[in-house]
A and B are shown apart, each in its own frame.
Chain A
Amino acid sequence: MNLILLTIAIPLIAGFLIFILPKKFTNITKFLSTISILISFIINIILFINTEKIVNNYFMFDNLSKFILLFIGLFAVFVIIYSLKYIESVTENINMYFSYILFTVSASYGAALANNLILLSVFWGFLGFTLYMLINTNDNATAESSKAFIIIGATDSLMIIGIGILYYITSSLNISSINISLKQGPIFLPTIAFLTFVAAAFAKAGAMPFHTWIPDMSEKAPIPVTAFLPASLDKLLGIYLLARISISVFELNSSMTFILLLFGSITIIAAVFMALVQHDLRKLLSYHAISQVGYMVLGIGTGNPVGIAGGLFHMLNHSIYKSNLFLISGSVKYRTNTMNMDKLGGLAKYMPITFIGAVIASLSISGVPPFNGFVSKWMVYQGLIDMGKAGSKLWILWLVAAMFGSALTLASFMKVIYSVFLGRSEKKWSFGDVNWTMLLPIIFLSILCVGFGVFAFAVPLKLFIIPALGEIGLFGLWNSQMATLLMLVGIALGFLIYLIGNMKNVRESDIFIGGEEIPSNKRVTGTEFYDSIRDISILDKIYKMAEKKYFDLYEMLKKFTFAITNRLRLIHSGKLVAYILWIFFGMAVLFILLNIRG
């Protein structure tokens, strides 16, 4: 118990110290943040290994929360190490940045460990604030930070209604002691409560329709912030909450499952379509960050052990490869100072380690075996198929959506790899790979991408996911190490055949793109690879509507509110007589009401 408080308190106290430290002591700031985050990570490891289960009125430390805790700590370590060098290129106010990162870590620990719903909402809401302040590290990001904060804050407030309803129904505020079935009995109120929690989880994780803050903020916020919050930490927390409520707090009925599956599928497909046409690397990545949430929601929506395990595992994998990808894009920006893929190209030569990391992460997110993304997507598919076996009729629809999305993801990342790292650049670069503090997280995360794929059943599933869900019967297993080995053998054989056979008579020919010959002096940026999908008759309209933000709940509500405000302001005419008439009108209404009632 004391260790739990300690791990929450250490980053918090360090954050406060850094907050009040004068600005010029940047080295102390960096040292303090690194040390405190390392200590709290070590505490998390000790907790993970030694402690079984603690449940009291305030905190719940079980297998699910302890694995979330461990990985929040891990990502925090990576982000802090990466930021040490990177952040200097973004802001002068390094103290604020690090203190808010530390506050974020502390609040996330709290949110993952909270058993009391009020405590959960406190930590949860505070995370919105720290996100807001972190996005504001960049002076130009005020509109984007407000948007993110308002979307998250609005859903947090909705969640409070949900908490109120749960308290009203069960007279308890402890997650561990609430268990409500939506299958029988009065279901209206519990359904509302469930939906409010889903909204909070969706907004945090970035599932549709609450996703719109992610692409906007990713364009402006410092890249470590994007890599840390929307890409990894917010996914961990959002999906953690979704899993927690769908597994232990509520017992879902078929219509709730349907809602989850529907929103999951829409998220996968719509976001990946948006990603395909992006020219800005960060924006493209952020749309994938949304799209991938769909898989997690699908996994949890299946309601069967394999699906849920797949959803949670995908959450973990996604956090790994997506924060890796964002950090890689950060390195690219650090060196080239642009994120426009039209201007990038040929970086593989200059930044080889970053390039290898990018290839590994891209293959992972596309779900290519033997990388980690494949395993979790496979499990989600298994879960969906299993639903079909159990009698669900629409399972084939969800499955097709998931697989189609995966194919498009691969296509999208082909474009990224080509136009950023391969291809030809507009200008000659003259730099090498980035500083070691920026490479280290990328290397580690890439190793995790491979390791969690190759040893999926031996390490991550066995240590983190399956204990979190209790005893479940997994199926569709295969020997992933052996599969990898066979794949490597296959690749080696192919290479051998290549060496023996065709080495000497390689045919050189003209460059073709899309069936057309390209003169060798013309540069192919690769960004227009899939632009032609805009020409498909229905899609072009949808794209145009999306660009006008018709699907953006926030922008629509904003317009609506301002329309009302502008109308209502006319009442405030400044004429005293009108005001007094209004007062008497109000009084007359009150008289009538009270006389009828009283």
Chain B
Amino acid sequence: MEHIIPLFVAISLATAFLISLLGSKFKFFRTAFPVISSAALVILSVLSIFLVNNNGLMVYKMGGWIPPIGICMVLDGLSSFMLLTVNLVAFFIMIYSINYVKKYTDVYKYFGLLFLMLAGMNGVIITGDLFNLFVYLEVAAVSSYALVAFGTGRQELEASFKYMVMGTLASGLILLSIALMYSYTSTLNMADIGKSLANEGSSSVIIFISVMFIVGFGLKAALVPFHWWLPDAHPSAPAPISAMLSGVLIKALGVYAIIRIFYNVIGSNIYTSRILLVLGTLSMIVGVIFAIGQYDFKRLLAYHSISQIGYVILGIGLATPLGILGGLFHLFNHSIFKSLLFLNSGAVEYSTGTRDLKKMGGLNKKMPVTGNTSMIASMSIAGIPPFNGFWSKLLIIIACVEANEYIYGLFAVIGSVLTMASFMKVQKYAFLGKLKEKWKNIEEVPFGMKFSMICLALICVFGGLLLLPEISNLLLKEASNAVLIGKEYVNQVLGSV
């Protein structure tokens, strides 16, 4: 059954190709086809979860070549968890996009780029080869540069340019460290690197490589102080793309790669964990402090992405079972509620044409679906029970206490309170209060957009159920176990060929 593994890349690449080829001629290829294709990816992701649960780690050998000679793809608990997160969010974004992108010309390019980006992310998640990871990462990054600039306004182009410069810097650092790693271990297969590192032991080269990986992937994940591109890039993109970028791209390219490399390949040690803890906490607090002063709806959300990624990294950096479980769960939750919030901001922009919170007011009365779903998402991100964000923050805070890191727990609480204050502000200015005179005639968004928002809101409401033992054994436990086994990953991959 390992033959389904390459399908994640193949389907999305083929879709991107077909849309680019036929999308300008046939309406089908820029409306229903992306939805069908990403639905297929969701089904495959669910399937992959059950497969991993039954078979354990699976390896697909490209062209039948045995690693480390050939390139391989690896599917384990962490990959299938990430695949589900990415493709699920992508699916809802496709549905939302059909109505949303009508205002743009060349819609087929939009969907083509979107699927190219999806292909890149899926590739990063399933690859077992370090250089391959870099290639997929670049595929996703380059298409995201283009998508940020999709509006082709002054602001979009400027943001895209900055994003590209800093993204290229990140890619350069990553490529450099991959090259160093290759010269040090003479292999590019991740499992094989792990094996030869275990034989060689630690050295200053590894420290050098580690720092550059942290900076490179930290740039992709927008950790403070490497976050500068995000508050410009994410708000400038079309709303569904912002949702995609904030919801999943920074996690697939940044967080996932950090977890995979530092836990499974290089192997975690106390110093890198400590650095992750500090960077996570810094992002958590600095991000939210930036956010709280914002009045641009999407920019505020973008800053919150920095802050929430901080929570994920904090959980991961604790390196305890509970911390990793909480971090990964927060990763999933964040991709749901943050995409939802960006879709809400898109819906508001769609109906009113503004992103300025001060100009809104009382929109709940005219846009009840957007208003109520955004309320649910705000409560989720603020960590109010029983919504999903509460559960993951709860796990992270308890994990901090359990690991004797009380101060980090306190910071997590402070961050959570500030997040809450900031979203109270959003609700206060945008959706609650008295309806302003000039919004008297606005209407709720079309069905496709409502459908996506409602589905994501339902996941927010019932997301806590993922912690039920039966479901968490299937999904979250598998994922956190894949991290916790650490370098045992090496043996599992090499053993299964």
- Complex CA gap A333/B275 in Å reads 59
Of B31-39, B245-253, B383-391, B488-496, the stretch lying at the interface with chain A is B383-391
Looking across the interface, which residue of chain A has its beta carbon closest to that of B382?
A153
- Complex CA gap A167/B402 in Å reads 8
Interchain CB contact under 8 A, A161 and B410: yes
Which of B162, B385, B417, B427 is the one whose CB lies under 8 Å from A579?
Answer: B162
Kindly state whether residue A458 has any CB partner on chain B within 8 Å: no
Q: Pull 26 A–B residue pairs with CB atoms less than 8 Å apart, ordered by A.
A: A122-B385, A136-B432, A142-B427, A142-B432, A150-B424, A154-B417, A157-B397, A158-B413, A160-B393, A161-B406, A161-B410, A164-B402, A164-B409, A168-B402, A192-B406, A564-B289, A568-B289, A576-B165, A579-B228, A579-B229, A583-B226, A585-B225, A587-B212, A591-B208, A594-B207, A594-B211
Interchain CB contact under 8 A, B219 and A583: yes
Given contacts A568-B286, A586-B215, contact A161 B409 (CB under 8 A): yes
- Complex CA gap A161/B394 in Å reads 9
Given contacts A142-B433, A579-B166, contact A562 B385 (CB under 8 A): no
Interface residues of B (CB under 8 A from A): 162, 165-166, 169, 202, 204, 207-208, 210-212, 214-215, 219, 225-226, 228-229, 231-232, 269, 271-272, 274-275, 286, 289-290, 292-293, 362, 379, 382-386, 390, 393-394, 397-398, 400-402, 406, 409-410, 413, 416-418, 420-421, 424-425, 427-428, 432-434
Of A51-59, A125-133, A237-245, the stretch lying at the interface with chain B is A125-133
Interchain CB contact under 8 A, B166 and A583: yes
In chain A between 81 and 123, which residues have their CB closer than 8 angstroms to a CB of chain B?
A: 118, 121-123
- Complex CA gap A547/B455 in Å reads 47
- Complex CA gap A146/B433 in Å reads 12
Looking across the interface, which residue of chain A has its beta carbon closest to that of B206?
A598
Across-interface contacts of A150 in B (CB, < 8 A): 417, 420-421, 424
Interchain CB contact under 8 A, B226 and A586: yes
Across-interface contacts of B379 in A (CB, < 8 A): 129
Interchain CB contact under 8 A, B386 and A126: yes
Looking across the interface, which residue of chain A has its beta carbon closest to that of B202?
A598
Kindly state whether residue A143 has any CB partner on chain B within 8 Å: yes
Kindly state whether residue A520 has any CB partner on chain B within 8 Å: no
Interchain CB contact under 8 A, A565 and B292: yes
Kindly state whether residue A309 has any CB partner on chain B within 8 Å: no
Query: Shortest beta-carbon distance, B488 to chain A, in Å?
Result: 23
Which of A126, A562, A565, A580 is the one whose CB lies under 8 Å from B169?
Answer: A580
Interchain CB contact under 8 A, B169 and A583: yes
Query: Shortest beta-carbon distance, B365 to chain A, in Å?
Result: 9
Kindly state whether residue A535 has any CB partner on chain B within 8 Å: no
Complex A-B, nearest 3 residue pairs according to Cβ-Cβ distance, in ascending order = A164-B401, A565-B293, A146-B424
Interchain CB contact under 8 A, A569 and B394: no
With A161-B409, A565-B292 known, 8 other A-B pairs at CB within 8 A are A142-B428, A167-B401, A561-B418, A579-B228, A586-B215, A587-B215, A598-B269, A598-B271
Which of B215, B362, B384, B406 is the one whose CB lies under 8 Å from A126?
Answer: B384
- Complex CA gap A587/B216 in Å reads 10
Which of B225, B362, B418 is the one whose CB lies under 8 Å from A582?
Answer: B225
Across-interface contacts of A122 in B (CB, < 8 A): 385-386, 390
Query: Shortest beta-carbon distance, B283 to chain A, in Å?
Result: 12
- Complex CA gap A154/B269 in Å reads 34
Given contacts A140-B434, A146-B424, A583-B166, contact A167 B398 (CB under 8 A): yes
- Complex CA gap A121/B275 in Å reads 31
- Complex CA gap A569/B299 in Å reads 13
Given contacts A168-B402, A576-B162, contact A160 B428 (CB under 8 A): no
**Proximity string of chain A (555-590) to chain B, C-beta cutoff 8 Å, 1 when within and 0 when not:** 000100110111011001010100110110111001
Given contacts A566-B293, A568-B289, contact A146 B166 (CB under 8 A): no
Which of B165, B293, B386, B413 is the one whose CB lies under 8 Å from A161?
Answer: B413
Interchain CB contact under 8 A, A153 and B226: no
Kindly state whether residue A516 has any CB partner on chain B within 8 Å: no
Query: Shortest beta-carbon distance, B482 to chain A, in Å?
Result: 25
- Complex CA gap A157/B390 in Å reads 10
- Complex CA gap A122/B390 in Å reads 9
Interchain CB contact under 8 A, B385 and A121: yes
Query: Shortest beta-carbon distance, A180 to chain B, in Å?
Result: 15
- Complex CA gap A153/B383 in Å reads 9
Kindly state whether residue A597 has any CB partner on chain B within 8 Å: yes
Given contacts A572-B290, A583-B166, A586-B226, contact A125 B385 (CB under 8 A): yes
Looking across the interface, which residue of chain A has its beta carbon closest to that of B375?
A133
Which of A153, A163, A568 is the one whose CB lies under 8 Å from B420?
Answer: A153
Instruction: Choose among A129, A167, A192, A594 the residue with the greatest number of B CB atoms under 10 Å from its CB.
Output: A594
Interchain CB contact under 8 A, A586 and B225: yes
Kindly state whether residue A165 has any CB partner on chain B within 8 Å: yes
- Complex CA gap A125/B428 in Å reads 20
Kindly state whether residue A139 has any CB partner on chain B within 8 Å: yes
Query: Shortest beta-carbon distance, B266 to chain A, in Å?
Result: 12
**Proximity string of chain A (418-434) to chain B, C-beta cutoff 8 Å, 1 when within and 0 when not:** 00000000000000000
- Complex CA gap A580/B165 in Å reads 9
- Complex CA gap A149/B425 in Å reads 12
Interchain CB contact under 8 A, B400 and A164: yes
- Complex CA gap A453/B36 in Å reads 71
Interchain CB contact under 8 A, A139 and B215: no
Kindly state whether residue A595 has any CB partner on chain B within 8 Å: yes
Interchain CB contact under 8 A, B433 and A160: no
Given contacts A122-B386, A572-B290, A583-B228, contact A157 B402 (CB under 8 A): no
- Complex CA gap A136/B432 in Å reads 8
Which of B162, B402, B410, B434 is the one whose CB lies under 8 Å from A139?
Answer: B434
Kindly state whether residue A513 has any CB partner on chain B within 8 Å: no
Kindly state whether residue A593 has any CB partner on chain B within 8 Å: yes
Query: Shortest beta-carbon distance, A501 to chain B, in Å?
Result: 62
In chain A between 270 and 289, which residues have their CB closer than 8 angstroms to a CB of chain B?
A: none
In chain A between 18 and 56, which residues have their CB closer than 8 angstroms to a CB of chain B?
A: none
Interchain CB contact under 8 A, A597 and B271: yes
In chain A between 176 and 214, which residues have their CB closer than 8 angstroms to a CB of chain B?
A: 192
Looking across the interface, which residue of chain B has its beta carbon closest to that of A169?
B401
Looking across the interface, which residue of chain B has its beta carbon closest to that of A574?
B232
- Complex CA gap A591/B275 in Å reads 11
Which of B215, B289, B424, B433 is the one whose CB lies under 8 Å from A565?
Answer: B289
- Complex CA gap A167/B400 in Å reads 12
- Complex CA gap A580/B432 in Å reads 40
Across-interface contacts of A145 in B (CB, < 8 A): 424, 432
- Complex CA gap A123/B384 in Å reads 10
- Complex CA gap A142/B390 in Å reads 23
